[in-house]
Structure 1
Amino acid sequence: MNVLVTGANGFVGCHLVQALVERGHRVIAAVRRDDVALPAGIAGVRTIGDIGPATDWTGMVEGIDAVVHLAARVHVMRETDPDPSSRFRQVNVLGTACLARAAAQAGVRHLVYLSSVKVHGETSPEGLPFTEAMTPAPEDTYGWSKWEAEQALAGIASETGLGLTVFRPPLVYGPGVRANFGRLVEMVRRGIPLPFGAVRNRRSLVYVGNLTDAIASSLLSTEAIGQTFLISDGAPLSTAELIRSIARAMHRKPRLLAIPPALLRLAGIVTGKRAETSRLLGDLAVDDSRLRSRLGWQPPYDLEEGLAATVPATHRRSRRMHRI
């Protein structure tokens, strides 16, 4: 297939492009800037600049069979934009709708959209994982922009006949991961005592190799058309279990302190880090049985394999940064 991948130089994008090339697809990479490194084997690179309602996609979608739309304004921990809600909407909602309309007009058959579990909210009900049938309840501007984009895409698909598949991943990890997961790996590597030994929450993760495999599988399946899928590696695990698994991948002993979660929540409030603390202590589990049953999909990598690939790569990058 001729596949256009937006955000092709991002964390997920680089892994997806490589996976698609290995499967024999002809991949066109759409990137924001022309000074980025991309995996070998791609058929072409298109520079799109900033994404918004006026982006001209015409020349990029001609002759394309499928589009995988990964490019987005992502969740920002330290927001500096004076009007973040408007900025999220310009890129994630109006920019996505602009691409979908151009794709439909050019005869593209299938658009795969990478949304987020944040469409459902920040915390799953206790003992009850999120399912696709649950009413969306985003809690921040990023989550709302993803949900509005999904609704805009559904409307365009209904009007034009464009095939649409939506993925809502939880935290994605893998070689090159940064943000909170990368910081957690670094703290375990440095042997910093972590106060999560008494935490018994349930959180789902997905290895980037599993996510890209599912996206690639959906491109070849008519069963994926018109569907929204949650995805994960499998059974959720607690923050303490995750730390132990990361330590095993490093052949280290985890340094976990059994501090009561109530005290950790209080500390989060006092230090102004309530949101970060809630993510480490709360549940965010997903049920991905729809994806597995409808597409017959099984994750090709388990948690241990995913962490084994992630931790050495993250460790090497961390050491380079320290040398610099």
Structure 2
Amino acid sequence: MSRKVLITGASGFIGRRLVGALAKEGWDVRAAGRDMNSIPSAQRIERAALPDLAKPVDWSPLLEGVTHAVHLAGLAHAPGMLPDEVYERINAAAVGEIATAAQGAERLVFLSSVRAQAGLSSDHVITEADTPQPTDIYGRSKLAAERLVEGSGTAFTILRPAVVYGPDVQGNIASLATLARTPIPLPFGGLDNRRSLLALENLISAISLALTSSQAAGETFLVADTEPISVADLVAAMREGLGRSPHLMKVPAGAVKRMMASFGKEADWERVSGSFVVDAAKLRGIGWQPSVATRDGIRRMMCASGGNGTTMP
């Protein structure tokens, strides 16, 4: 039986790779994006324009004839940049609309975020058993979207990815990558806090599994690489990917914080100084096998992108 999947947000960082990957797996793909020229053009791929999610959307034309759907489209995490109402409309209400419209599909996979569950750091390992406690409008809008999906009557799987990294991504942690490209010694050698990241390849394999696994039906899963990485090891891996030695100094965390503040990077410090460890054992328990180790993935990312490769949740 022919399988056809709608992918929204198909022209974005994740969507472009997912479109090509699913087409290679044998899916017929309807790829809906804002920039259709950025969507891969190949056999099995049908490109389509993504409607303006800031307004109510009639999803029926895009869903016609599809058996599955992956909803990636939404606003990224950008604190203080947009009114709460915009996040609520695009990241929640539009998700509820597509979920309701997709009731005839075999599965809707919704890409939420770990920020629907936790803030910037956590004093314990995060699992699906934790009560969701989002700390900003981005996380709250993602959690609201999850509730709409759950109540839509559509067969679904919800994924909460950790930090996603890979070539060509832009994001808040790009400042670390920029620093890694400089020849100067960096004062991060003493930052041994651990944070979970997620290789793009690992996320794509998780989405592929979520589309068809009977064990994934009606479930919510955290998604992260198997092992977290310290900030010191993260920066070292970045420099190794650029063909350089780590060249890190051990400096007290307070001094590093003051240095970051002097460059107006207080928010970046908050995103890298705390621990944020995600346990994706539930997803691995139904057969997900992340193939990329974080340190290897970071090295390859930097080699491919020249230092612009990660975004924080």
Give the alignment's TM-score, normalised by structure 2: 0.91
**Is residue 17–residue 39 contact of structure 1 (8 Å, CA) maintained in 2?**
no
Alpha-carbon distance in structure 2 between the residues aligned to 1:190 and 1:42? 43
- Give the corresponding residue for 1:235: 227
Alpha-carbon distance in structure 1 between the residues aligned to 2:307 and 2:194? 29
Map Cα deviations across residues 242-278 of structure 1 (whole Å, 9 max, x no partner): 1112222222112323221123334556665433211
- Give the corresponding residue for 1:313: 304
- Give the corresponding residue for 1:133: 129
RMSD, aligned CA: 2.1
SS in 2 for 1:198: coil
SS in 2 for 1:180: coil
SS in 1 for 2:53: coil
| Residues 1:142 and 2:141 aligned together | no
SS in 2 for 1:4: strand
- Give the corresponding residue for 1:119: 116
**Is residue 52–residue 96 contact of structure 1 (8 Å, CA) maintained in 2?**
no
Map Cα deviations across residues 136-155 of structure 1 (whole Å, 9 max, x no partner): 11111111110111111111
SS in 1 for 2:188: coil
| Residues 1:47 and 2:46 aligned together | no
**Is residue 249–residue 304 contact of structure 1 (8 Å, CA) maintained in 2?**
no
- Give the corresponding residue for 2:279: 287
Counterpart residue type for residue 299 of structure 1: P
| Residues 1:275 and 2:260 aligned together | no
| Residues 1:226 and 2:218 aligned together | yes
**Is residue 48–residue 55 contact of structure 1 (8 Å, CA) maintained in 2?**
no
Alpha-carbon distance in structure 1 between the residues aligned to 2:236 and 2:101? 47
**Is residue 112–residue 160 contact of structure 2 (8 Å, CA) maintained in 1?**
yes
Counterpart residue type for residue 99 of structure 1: I
Of 2, 13, 20, the residue aligned with 2:15 is 13
Alpha-carbon distance in structure 2 between the residues aligned to 1:273 and 1:186? 13
Alpha-carbon distance in structure 1 between the residues aligned to 2:34 and 2:74? 11
Map Cα deviations across residues 74-126 of structure 1 (whole Å, 9 max, x no partner): 111561x4xx100000101111111111111xx11111011111112224432
**Is residue 52–residue 94 contact of structure 1 (8 Å, CA) maintained in 2?**
no
Alpha-carbon distance in structure 2 between the residues aligned to 1:110 and 1:247? 41
Unaligned 5+ residue runs, structure 2? Answer: none
Alpha-carbon distance in structure 1 between the residues aligned to 2:307 and 2:185? 22
**Matching of residues 1-324 of structure 1 within 5 Å:** 1-52=3-54, 54-77=56-79, 79=81, 81=82, 84-104=83-103, 107-126=104-123, 128-156=124-152, 160=153, 162-267=154-259, 273-293=265-285, 295-315=286-306
Give the alignment's TM-score, normalised by structure 1: 0.88
More helix by share: 1
Counterpart residue type for residue 239 of structure 2: A
Change (3 A) 1:219 1:229: same
Counterpart residue type for residue 186 of structure 1: T
Change (3 A) 1:271 1:187: closer
SS in 1 for 2:95: helix
Counterpart residue type for residue 154 of structure 1: E
**Is residue 52–residue 98 contact of structure 1 (8 Å, CA) maintained in 2?**
no
